[in-house]
């Protein structure tokens, strides 16, 4: 069996994120359109949001390579992750890993935090603390990018979600939901400081608030140091990332 599979999750069959269905089977196969990558959804400005599915194990893990377009420090880690993961036979047997390359390709192109309409996608999830505004969106999941991730998480029910961000002059891993132990493992292996989400400024409508707190899915937010080269960011976190994905 090939170690990787293109992903297609049938997201047109919209699943309301608030109504949790039984855990879905692994993603259905679809022809790849670019190596391991295929389009999960389309951004506000029509760019593909690409994803890849790797491995075939029962443990479902989701990696999101970026949400804020001006925080691309995790881009190389995202690019390196498929090869690093597939080089581990144990990982392929234990885990099905879904990698979203970049949830916000429009923001990445413009180097802006928000999406093509200026909405901060990490404030646009239906968490209990959602606060609608011109910057957060009038309603939760008002944006195609946040809808794609929301529908994926609600239907696929990953056991762990890792999301790459960056932070000024600091690097740490933040956890939401029942993720303290896995966050501690990541911190131990990477040297990143471990923080609980409630130690940060309020983040209404964040992905972690919703998936972690509202749905109870473990979420690790990896805050690379802003401006740190991608190569060093990946080297620093490679072992920690693979360990928590596999569940060691
Ligand atoms: Zn961020």
Query: Measured in angstroms, how far is the CA atom of residue 186 from the centroid of ligand 1?
Result: 18
Ligand 1 mean position, distance from CA 164 (Å): 8
Query: Percentage of residues in the chain with pLDDT exceeding 70?
Result: 85
**Tokens, residue 64:** 């999101």
Determine the pLDDT at residue 220.
Answer: 97
Q: What angle do CA 69, 122, 71 make, to 5 degrees?
A: 25
pLDDT score at 118: 98
Look at residue 174 and give its three-state secondary structure: strand
CA of 154 to the centre of ligand 1 (A): 22
pLDDT at 232: 82
Cα gap 151→41, rounded to integer Å: 11
d(CA 190, ligand 1 centre) in Å:
19
| Other beta carbons less than 10 A from residue 171's beta carbon | 20
Neighbours of ion ligand 1 (CB under 5 A): 68, 71, 165
Model confidence pLDDT, tens digit, residues 149-203: 999 999 999 999 999 999 987 899 999 999 999 999 999 999 999 998 764 557 8
Domain coordinates of the chain in residue numbers? 4-12+27-246
At the fourth CATH level, the homologous superfamily of domain 4-12+27-246 is Zn peptidases (3.40.630.10)
* Summary mean pLDDT of the chain: 87
| Cβ-based neighbours of 240, under 8 Å, separated by 6 or more | 185, 186, 187, 188, 189, 190, 192
For residue 172, report the distance from its CA to the centre of ligand 1, in Å. Answer: 12
Ligand 1 mean position, distance from CA 29 (Å): 31
Work out the number of other CB atoms within 10 angstroms of the CB of residue 111.
Answer: 10
Q: How confident is the model at residue 19 (pLDDT cuts 50, 70, 90)?
A: very low
In contact, 115 and 122? CB cutoff 8 Å: no
Which range has the worst mean pLDDT, 6-15, 91-100, 111-120, 139-148? 6-15
Average pLDDT, stretch 215-224? Answer: 96
And the tokens for 72? Answer: 């691309």
Phi-psi region of 157 (alpha: psi -120 to 50; beta: other; left: phi over 0): left
Question: What are the b/e assignments for 136-164, b being 16+ CB within 10 Å?
Answer: bbeebbebbbbbbbbbbbbbbbbbbbbbb
The gap from C-alpha 225 to its chain's centroid, in whole angstroms, comes to 18
Tell whether pTM > 0.85. Answer: yes
Ligand 1 center from residue 203 Cα (angstroms): 11
Highest mean pLDDT among 22-31, 184-193, 202-211: 184-193
Distance 201 CA to ligand 1 centre (A): 13
- Separation in Å, CA 63 to CA 80, 198, 210: 12, 22, 16
More confident residue, 207 or 228: 207
Distance 185 CA to ligand 1 centre (A): 22
Q: Are 68 and 104 in contact (CB under 8 A)?
A: yes
Give the distance (Å) from ligand 1 centre to CA of residue 76.
Answer: 16
Interval between CA 15 and ligand 1 midpoint (Å): 26
For tokens 């309409």, name the residue: 117
């Amino acid at each position: 069996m090939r170690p990787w599979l293109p992903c297609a999750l049938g997201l047109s069959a919209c699943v309301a994120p608030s109504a949790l269905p039984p855990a879905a089977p692994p993603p259905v196969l679809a022809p790849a359109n670019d190596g391991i990558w295929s389009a999960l959804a389309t951004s506000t400005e029509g760019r593909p949001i690409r994803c890849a599915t790797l491995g075939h194990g029962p443990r479902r893990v989701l990696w999101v390579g970026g949400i804020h377009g001006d925080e691309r420090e995790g881009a190389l880690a995202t690019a390196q992750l498929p090869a690093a993961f597939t080089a581990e036979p144990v990982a392929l047997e234990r885990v099905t890993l879904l990698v979203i390359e970049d949830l916000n390709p429009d923001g990445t192109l413009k180097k802006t935090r928000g999406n093509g309409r200026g909405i901060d996608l990490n404030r646009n999830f239906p968490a209990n603390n959602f606060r609608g505004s011109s910057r957060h969106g009038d309603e939760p999941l008002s944006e195609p990018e946040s809808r794609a991730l929301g529908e994926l998480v609600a239907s696929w029910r990953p056991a762990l979600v890792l999301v790459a961000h960056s932070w000024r002059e600091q690097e740490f891993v933040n956890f939401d939901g029942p993720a303290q132990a896995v966050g501690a493992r990541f911190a131990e292996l990477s040297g990143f400081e471990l923080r609980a989400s409630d130690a940060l400024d309020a983040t209404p409508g964040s992905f972690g608030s919703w998936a972690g707190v509202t749905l109870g899915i473990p979420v690790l937010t990896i805050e690379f140091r802003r401006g740190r080269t991608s190569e060093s960011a990946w080297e620093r976190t490679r072992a920690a990332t693979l360990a928590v994905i596999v569940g060691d």
